[in-house]
Structure 1
Amino acid sequence: MDSFSTSMDLVQFIGKLGDLKDEHYHMMLTVSALVELLIEKGLISRQELERKAAELDGLMTGSPYPMA
Structure 2
Amino acid sequence: MKPRTSRASSQALDHLNLVAKLADLKEDHYRALLTLSAITELLIEKGLLAPEELERKIASLDSEMDELIAFSLHPMP
Match of 1:24 among 29, 34, 42: 29
RMSD: 1.9
Gaps (5+ residues) in structure 1? Answer: none
Name which one, 1 or 2, has greater alpha-carbon Rg: 2
**Structure number with higher helix proportion:** 2
**In percent, how many aligned pairs have the same letter?**
48
TM-score, normalization by structure 1:
0.82
- Number of residues paired by the alignment? 62
Structure 1 runs (4+) deviating above 3 angstroms are: 62-66
Higher relative contact order (Cα pairs below 8 Å, separated by 6+ residues): 1
TM-score, normalization by structure 2:
0.73
Gaps (5+ residues) in structure 2? Answer: 1-9
